[in-house]
Structure 1
Amino acid sequence: MPQVLFKNHSGSEVTVNLCGATVTSWKHEGEEFLFCSKKAVLDGSKAIRGGIPIVFPNFGPWELGPQHGFARIKEWKQASDPRDGENGAVSMDFSLEDDDQTRQMWDKKFRLVYTVTLMQNTLETALTVHNTGGEEFDFTTLLHTYVRVEDIMTTTITGLQNCTYTDKVHVGEHVEEREAVVIDENYDRIYQAVDGAVNVNQDMQTLGTLRIERDNLPDVVVWNPWQEKAAAMSDLVPMEYLEMVCVEAGAVTSRVVLPPAQQRTFSQKLIICRGQQVIL
């Protein structure tokens, strides 16, 4: 599947695979900040195991089509050339429209525009959903971000304290009491109505803290398959679970209703805070 690479003038570059318009790499000053499995399938036959796959129009199992919808496995179009913005930012657009295949699963008319923007120490990804039909439709969506970590055992996630979450591994709904979440088992939790940024914290001298800010994406999914489940995945090297954590900005606990001829944008900013004090 074709890939697009573009850079800005501050030492950052991003690679987008047209399978799902999946951002598979984001490097700043030569350091990679996204995880992509060495066994990820990049030919469009399945969703890419890594980067930032786009979930639309349904999060999770879907009776009408594949899990997490079709956006992450459809071939998108490059909708613009790289364009310069303010303060050295560089952006590109990618698009996906309904076709015979999508309408067989989900008989709606839509256009998705995905804008990827490189800034000095920030990657912004923004999905705009256009309802191009004559009837309203509803959907859920999520940016399935795989964050690269040096060691999941020494990584913490902050910004989720006091949030209600659904635990999909142990089942049940709970309130997060910890200020710093530690991953030490198969972990799959949907945190609801998260107020403010979420931070993935590591050694400040290397990858440091990655701050995730969200707009119109109130929920945060945190996922790591851990050892046994990772070993059963054909597109993941067994021990790679130690090198990643998914912190996924989404609108998944309540379905979004979009009237005809309307649009809505869902976005996140990944901000490198290496060597800086982070406000939690």
Structure 2
Amino acid sequence: MAVVVVCGDVENRAEVHPHGATLTSWKVDGEEMTFVSRNAVFDGKKAIRGGIPLVFPNFGPWELGPQHGFARTSTWNLVQTPVQGSGNSVAVFELEDSEQTRAIWNYKFKVRYTVSVGDHQLETNLDVTNTGDHQFDFTILLHTYFRLPDIRKTTVDGLKGCMYTDKVHKDRKTESRDLISVAAETDNMYEATSSVHHITHGAGGYTFVVTKRNLPDTVVWNPWEEKARAMSDFGDDEYTKMICVEAGHVASRYVLSPKQTFSGGQIITLKKE
């Protein structure tokens, strides 16, 4: 399957793999901003470990089908080849229900995924349309992997005061920190978070500004050392070079009526010191 290149120029570009419509690269001034494991599998079956996998119609374990749903392991169609417009380069992908998806989840739908690359900026938007005659509910997430110089020198804001589920310790808590940092296995699902997060590296580094639209929740994930060693598609030492800060609608299920559309997305802006 050919990778789709979305670019403003040679130094500022994104790449999207048709398998899962997974964004596997975003470069700014020639520097890679997304994390993809060196052990990631590109066999057209397994979800790609890194970039921005798309989670739909279910986040987490799913009694009807595979964990995190089928979108990240389905082949998406390119319906708009990358074109330059308003200073950005834009590509559009779609996934519709099929015999295979209806065997798992018997609803008619169309998901439209728009990727836009601009000056130091990446925008990813998802539109879910119920094309059938029956309402359905779903959860959805942009499972974004950010590349880091050092996880130990990284902080994330916009989470203070939010209730969250700590999946590692199987507990519900309220976040008390202004800036959260990661120093152990972390899998936290925060509810009703700020619409803006700053992922900031140490002095002399850079900051990712994540601006969410209609995606009220945020997941923060890092496998840390022990879990990294147990994952076949993740390098043993790579946990120090990444963090997942994931915008989604996952704390509750979104109910979508027939012929209606849900729309949500994020804009990631890179700010260098």
The letter of the residue matching 2:27 is K
What does residue 83 of structure 2 align with? 83
- Match of 2:71, SS state, is coil
Secondary structure at the aligned position of 1:180 is classed as: coil
Q: In the alignment, what sits opposite 2:199? A: 200
Following the alignment from structure 1 to structure 2, what is the Cα–Cα distance between the partners of residues 161 and 75? Answer: 38
Match for 1:213: what amino acid?
T
The alignment of Structure 1 onto Structure 2 pairs a total of residues equal to 273
Letter of the 2:134 counterpart: E
Corresponding residue for residue 246 of structure 1: 244
Q: Is the 8 A contact 2:84 2:90 kept in 1?
A: yes
Cα distance per residue 1:144-163 (max 9 Å; x no partner): 00000011111111111111
Cα offset, 1:27, TM superposition: 0.1
SS of structure 1 residue aligned to 2:239: helix
- For the residues of structure 1 that align with 2:126 and 2:195, how far apart are their CA atoms? 19
- How far, CA to CA, are the matches of 1:36 and 1:138 in structure 2? 30
In structure 1, stretches of 5+ residues that fail to align are: 276-280
Cα distance between partner residues in 1 of 2:111 and 2:220: 25
Deviations 1:56-83 (A, max 9, x none): 0000000000000000000111111112
Partner of 1:237: 235
In structure 2, C-alpha distance between the alignment counterparts of 1:151 and 1:159, rounded to whole Å: 20
Tell me, in whole angstroms, the C-alpha distance in 2 between the residues paired with 1:80 and 1:188. 35
Which SS does the other structure have where 2:132 is aligned? coil
Tell me if structure 2 keeps the 8 A contact 1:10–1:120: no
**53-62 or 190-199: which moved more?**
190-199
2:129 maps to which residue? 130
Q: Residue by residue, what CA displacement relative to the aligned partner does 1:27-53 show, whole Å, maximum 9, x if unpaired?
A: 010111100000111121200000000
| 1:104 maps onto 2:109 in alignment | no
Matched with 1:267 is 265
* Displacement of 1:22: 0.3
Q: Contact between 2:88 and 2:118, CA under 8 Å: does it hold in 1? A: yes
Match of 1:57? 57
Q: Does 1:166 align with 2:165?
A: yes
**Runs of 4+ with >6 A deviation:** none
Deviations 1:184-236 (A, max 9, x none): 00100001000231111014544x00011101100000000000000000000
**1:2, distance to aligned residue in structure 2 (A):** 2.4
Aligned to 2:66: 66
Q: Does 1:148 align with 2:147?
A: yes
Equivalent-residue separation in structure 2 for 1:23 and 1:80 (angstroms): 16
Contact 1:110 / 1:132 at 8 angstroms: preserved in 2? yes
| Residue type of the alignment partner of 1:134 | D
**Cross-structure match for 1:186:** 185
In structure 2, relative to structure 1, the CA distance for the partners of 1:43 and 1:204 (3 Å cut) is farther
Report the aligned-residue RMSD.
Answer: 1.1
Q: 2:214 aligns with which of 191, 199, 216?
A: 216
What is the one-letter code of the residue matched to 1:236? F
Q: 1:256 aligns with which of 242, 254, 257?
A: 254
Structure 1 contact 204–274 (Cα < 8 Å) conserved: no
- The letter for the 2-side match of 1:220 is T
**Percent of aligned pairs sharing the same letter:** 48
TM-score (norm 1): 0.95
Aligned-partner Cα distance in 2 for 1:4–1:163: 37
Instruction: Give the distance between the partners of 1:49 and 1:105, measured in 2 at CA.
Output: 23
For residue 38 of structure 1, what is the aligned residue in structure 2? 38
SS in structure 1 of the partner of residue 252 of structure 2: strand
- Which residues of structure 2 form unaligned runs of 5+? none
Q: What is the DSSP-based 3-state SS (H/G/I as helix, E as strand, rest coil) of the residue aligned with 2:5? A: strand
1:18 aligns with 2:12: no
1:93 maps to 92
Aligned partners of 2:2 and 2:49: how far apart in 1?
17
2:226 corresponds to which residue? 228
- The structural deviation recorded for 1:164 is 1.0
Matched residues in 2 for 1:19 and 1:10: separation?
A: 23
